[in-house]
Structure 1
Amino acid sequence: MAQQVIQLDQEKLSCSICLDLLKDPVTIPCGHNYCMDCIKNYWDENETHSCPQCRETFIPRPVLVKNTMFADLVEDLKKAGLPAASSDHAFTGPGDVACDFCSGRKRKASKSCLVCMASYCEQHLQPHYNVAPLKKHKLIEATSKLQDNICTHHDEVMKIFCHTDQQCICYRCLMDEHKDHVTVLASAERADKQKNLEGNRHKIKYRIQNRERDVNVLKKELEAISLSADKALMESEGMFKDLISLIEKKTSEVKQKIRSKQKTEQTRVKELQEKLEQEISELRRKDTELEQLSQTEDHIHFLNNFSSLSHLNKYTDLPSTNGHTLQYFQGVTTAVLQARNKMKDLLSDEWTKILVAVNKVDVLLPQEEPTTRGEFLKYSCGITVGPETKTKPFSLYGHQSYGNNPENSHVQSNEVLNGPCYWEVKLTGIATVGVAKKYDSYSRSSDKRGLGSDYESWALKYSHGSYQFRHGNISTSLSGPKSSTVGVYLDRRAGILSFYSITETMNLLHRVQTTFTKPLYAGFWLPDSSSNSLELSCLLSCLPSLTANGNWMPLPEPGSVGGFFLLKFHLTNLL
């Protein structure tokens, strides 16, 4: 009990400026107690003579007289022995934010006030908890960047965000050079950009998932290159033994060239793998920075750093692979076999073929994607939908009608899309287009079976002029010129799927670069409303005269569906 009394007395007899026991204690008119030197220095450093705790101002400056009763109590407390100092009153160390109100040796600040624009230790922070006007102040975790919240022109706190100049300003700026600009409260702008930040984090996570899958594919390619090269070496050396005296030198040369090519290709793949792994690390770091930024309570710090942190570097394009597992050097084996069966006097001619076969090994094949609509239309593919696609809730005008089945609301093409292939759709209201593996049926009541809800379907959702990309049940908002006509380009072998908004030009909305492991089919979806429709423009026979201008052709008369028409299939939900 005695120890508790001593501890209580120590707290009461401590100076709130230096946080130590009172030295030559004095009591100022408001009733608070301080060391005589501490309060004198505090008043000397400030224009007004106020209490550091309650902020009461005294005019004129009070005459200070030593409080002998408090001095005696302090002496008694010292004789009784002092307990260890509280960890809350720890002094500042490297990286700590110092209390702005401590004189002499600074204590570590626990909070910063966005109204006072100052940082406080636990002792000096008490008025913000006890004094009514100070309770309304905005407190955040102690920060050394409070000065960033001050306008450099007017030396006032910035609480406004100027959309016109994309910068934070104070109220005086608002009345001066920014008076005709579009402005909002910084807190409101922070809330809006916070939503964009979360969207960027979703994009980063999506990129990480894709890149991790790409790295796994490249690891398999490395193994396949080695196995294929070893297999080619074994077979080639076996055949060259039949021509020992004549082709020993040639055998050595083939071995050297295969190994050289193997090393070259493996080096290329390893460099790309390292680049992707570096990109993954960078994306993880960026995600961590964005997470930290999203958690800061300082709006100005958030806005000042949002633009630089939310910027994403260009997405690394992954060249396609030829996909012939264990077959990279098969051409070498074939060429050697042909050479063995030739006459010896023709060996010099066949040797050229062997070198050509080695040089043709190229694991990562460059892929050139079309750029103009005319180039895309060269890859127009015939897409049809039939009863086997389970399209009960849709009516396909000009081609075929289907009955009403309330359990299904999706349609898939009959044809497997290998590519390169291209098709266009004209959308009204709300509609979704994309590609997916073959499904036996869809259930509109279960979102798990919708286009883009798993990792084996990719979809673009159109909703009254806005776009969203969906894959793995993750939706990402897309920006681009508004158009109801959307183009879809797929090159399954190259692992490319692109969606375009078609105006006077081809405007890329989103591109997927991955490895498609299963056969893909075109997919379409409409919600249950008669205001939603989808027109599929599909070239049944790629005549140059029909694809050159890319115009929408009128529907043929019933019964005239045949070889050379650019058809529009109009899908409308009957529910």
Structure 2
Amino acid sequence: MAQQGLQLDEDKYSCSICLDLLKDPVTIPCGHSYCMSCIGTHWDEEDHRKIYSCPQCRETFKRKPVLKKSTILADLVEDLKKTGLRAEPDDHCYARPGDVACDVCTQRKLKAVKFCLTCPASYCEYHLQPHYDAPPLQKHKLVDPSKKLQENICPHHGEAMEMSGHPDQQWTCFLCLTDENKDHKKGSAAAEMSGKQKKLLVRRQQIQKGIWDREKEVKLLRQEVEAINASADKAVEDSEKIFTELIRLAWKRSADVQQQIRSQQESEVSRVRELQEKLEREITQLKKKDAELEKLSNSDHNRFLLNYPSLSIPSDATHSSSIKIRPLRYFEDVTTTVSELRDKLQDILRDTWTDISDAVAEVDVLLSEPEPKTRAGFLKYSQEITLNPNTANSHLLLSDGNRKATVLKQKQVQQEAPKRLMMTPKEHQGFLNRPCVAFLHATITSYTRYMPR
């Protein structure tokens, strides 16, 4: 019987995708187990959605769970394969035409070995074993199976039928004989049952319509979930592309500024160095001229007078006072301009971020608003309520512009108002069904219930 018990639990160790015993079993975060290859193939088909779900409970995971083999579950499946799977019965054990088949077997029917008069049903040797093991079932009466015996079981009461004493000699059970003595009650019972069955049919139709409506709404909600996920994925992808383009544009502008700065740097440095080299050449010439003049000043009278005219001619060298350096900050102004651009971008991003956040928060698929949880949330639905003195209870004193009601112990003397009872029952019910009026009506009723009459 241990083997049979294990066989009955085979479904617990079967994969709900391939409907076979688990192979390389893995358990996902929701607790359900599958073959590693089956759940892997299932999730590969969902890669385009970037959302992975359990085929049984439909729980979703934003990231694909890491699959690891469950060693304990794998050992259980191996033990089940070794000890739980009973050998295939011999061919003669199966029911053939003319044999009584087991009523419990769900696959190929085995031949019945006993028939239980209490159940009543036919059992093969495997399914008959509980009648030998379970104390409540041991009291059942077992007989050899027979097709004629099964035909003599009352289809209405499940009891063995016997030949009745009526002239027509019909097979019937004792409960049928008892029912025949109550024919006078059957008519009324049948009529009552027919009426209730009609009401039951109407009720079932209402329930079925409710089921159909809700299934339609569930289908709509599933479509909305898919649409929300697709829209959110596209918004994230598009936003990422736009921000990437902005970053790429900023880097391009940065590279352009660097190139312009370096180009201007080379131009200005080249101009300065050209002037510097020219001045250095002039310095060399002036030094050479000064040395010649010094040499002339130290020569004798004849030589001095002879060479003086040629050496005393002034040179055309550039005077240092002709070079003027403008008091510039060089490239500091560029840094200032870029900083101003950064500040403007920050202001734009700060202003537009509020608009973006508001646009995201305004996404609301369901029309119904969530139930408020705070006082500020309830105050959005607050209204100024005024009570009608023509319809107010005689134990209520109205004040503060008919917005305040005070409960009095003594009944007030009220004049008959022409509009006091002009409201129709339908209008009165509609008036009471208003949320604020219903709440006030319930409060007043609780107060006036215990007032003296």
Identify the TM-score tier after normalising by the shorter chain. under 0.3
Q: Quick check: which one's strand share is greater?
A: 1
Q: Quick check: which one's helix share is greater?
A: 2
Larger Rg over CA atoms: 2
* Higher RCO (CA-CA < 8 Å; seq separation 6+): 1
Query: With structure 1 as the length reference, what TM-score do the two structures score?
Result: 0.21
Query: With structure 2 as the length reference, what TM-score do the two structures score?
Result: 0.25
